[in-house]
Structure 1
Amino acid sequence: MERFTSFDFGLSGLAALFHEDWILTGGVEEVVDSYLSVGEAPVADEAQQKETAALERDVAELAGSSLSEGRIEMLFSMSTAWNYPFQGDETGRVLLGRIGRACRRWKAIYGWVPLEADAAWSSQAIVNEVCDVIAKTPLQLPEEFRRYFRSEVSELRDALDACVRSASAELAFRLLLRIHVANFIPVDRSAWARYRGIACRLALGEDLLSSLEFLSPETDPRSN
């Protein structure tokens, strides 16, 4: 079964819009609206409807998980290269609630269609494999994370592992890839091979994985 897109999607896809200048777009709701924009079209196509459904599903799974507020906040902030700071009384679930409500408003206007579903994407085999790759992948966090945000590799692994077990293995894997890209964390040869295998089993598109190619020596012509 194929996905509705070959690119990143859902919460990990949305995180890419929280770049250095995201505040110029407006608040969180405006960024969501921009991400789900249909442009000048009076109606949304099926892919846009599925994108909205994927984002709403990711938010619901993460909000309903056993992850602490701090772990949710760390995963989202790291997915945005720390361009989204949590301030004041805002927590991870407060943010997820804002995103979820924006999705529901969009659906009320443009409608929705069900997402593709395959039992293999949430199987125990996938859960085990994603947990294993999270535990074993070398994650070289930039020094400034440890200096300013106290984010150690062990904390990131624990948060991703909890996401796999309590929310969604697929979401945790997409967040892992997004964290690599957002923070320029290298992907070594063994991890690259395993990432490719998991992406294939989850039917994730080639364009999603290709976004990591510049981080892996496996894709460097000089490595041949």
Structure 2
Amino acid sequence: MKRFTSFDFGLSGLTSLFHEDWSHVGEVEEVVSSYLSVGEGPVADEAQKKEAAALERDVAALACSSLSDGDIEMLFETSTSWNYRFRTSETGRALLGRIDSACRRWQKTYGRVSAEADPMWSSPSVVNEVCDLIKSTPLQPSGEFLRYFGSGISELRDALDRCARRVSADLAFRLLLRVHLANFISVERDYWARYEGVSSRLALGEDLLSSVEFLIADTRPEAN
């Protein structure tokens, strides 16, 4: 089954808008509206409706899961390179609630469709493959970002693993790619073929994976 877009989408796609200047857009709700924007048009096309459906599904699955608020907060903060920081009184599920409400308001205005689904994307073989990749792929942030991670790489792996097993392997893998992009974490060349394999089995578009390709670590020996 082919996806409705070749780019990132859903919650992982939304996190890309939480860059260092995101607050100039407004509050979280305005960022969601910007993400789902139809421009000047009075109607949304099918792809835009499917984008909203994918975002709603990701958020609902994560909010209703057994993941802790701490897990959700870690996944969101690392996916935004800590450009989104949770306030003392804010929880991961409270943020998801705000995103969900903004998404539903958009759907009330422009229409609702069902999110795309394929049994392959949640099959045990795919879940196990994604979890194995999360467990084994090197995640080595550069010095610029290391101060944010501290000793939290193992905690991040655990949160991604729980997301893959209890929520969605599809979402967990997209968040893993977003963590790479947001924090300029290289992908070891030996693992790139495995990233391509998982991406293919999840029917993710070529533009999503190619956006990470520049981060492949060149481990080839230098020529004399």
Give the TM bin, normalised by the shorter chain.
over 0.9
- How far did 1:150 drift? 3.8
Deviations 1:51-99 (A, max 9, x none): 0000000001111111111111011011111100001311100000000
Structure 2: give runs of 5+ residues left out of the alignment. none
RMSD (CA atoms): 1.9
Q: Which residue of 1 aligns with 2:112?
A: 112
Measured at CA, do residues 148 and 131 of structure 1 come closer, stay the same or move farther in structure 2, by a change above 3 Å? Answer: closer
AA aligned opposite 2:93: R
Q: Contact 1:79 / 1:179 at 8 angstroms: preserved in 2?
A: yes
Q: Does the aligned pair in 2 maintain the 1:145–1:151 contact within 8 Å?
A: no
Separation in 2 of the partners of 1:18 and 1:5? 21
Residue equivalent to 1:73: 73
**Equivalents in 2 of 1:100, 1:165: separation in Å?**
22
Q: Describe the superposition over 1:112-135 as per-residue Cα deviations: whole angstroms up to 9, x where unpaired.
A: 112222110110111100000001
Q: Which residue of 1 aligns with 2:214?
A: 214
Q: Residue 149 of structure 1: CA displacement?
A: 5.2
SS in 2 for 1:104: helix
SS at match of 2:187: coil
Tell me: CA distance 1:74–1:151, structure 2 relative to 1, closer, same or farther (3 Å).
farther
| Counterpart code for 2:210 | S
Cα offsets for 1:157-208 (capped at 9, x unmatched): 1000010111100000000000000000000112211010000000000000
Q: 1:11 to 1:151 in 2, by over 3 A?
A: farther
Task: Look up the match of 2:128.
Answer: 128
Can you give the 5+ residue segments of structure 1 that lack an aligned partner in the other structure?
A: none
Matches within 5 A, 1:148-167: 148=148, 150-167=150-167
Tell me, what secondary structure is at the counterpart of 1:40? coil
Contact 2:67 2:162 in 1 (8 A): yes
Q: Using the alignment, how far apart are the partners of 1:192 and 1:103 within structure 2?
A: 34
Q: 1:148 to 1:170 in 2, by over 3 A?
A: closer
2:41 corresponds to: 41
TM (normalized to structure 2)?
0.94
How far, CA to CA, are the matches of 2:108 and 2:23 in structure 1?
Answer: 26
Q: How does 1:1-224 map to 2 (within 5 A)?
A: 1-143=1-143, 147-148=147-148, 150-217=150-217
* Percent identical: 69
How many residues of Structure 1 are paired with residues of Structure 2 in the alignment? 222
The question of whether the paired residues in 2 share the 8 Å contact of 1:199 and 1:209 is answered with yes
Q: TM-score, normalised by structure 1?
A: 0.94
Q: Distance in 1 between matches of 2:62 and 2:148?
A: 25
Distance 1:132 1:22, change over 3 A: same
Q: Is the 8 A contact 1:75 1:175 kept in 2?
A: yes
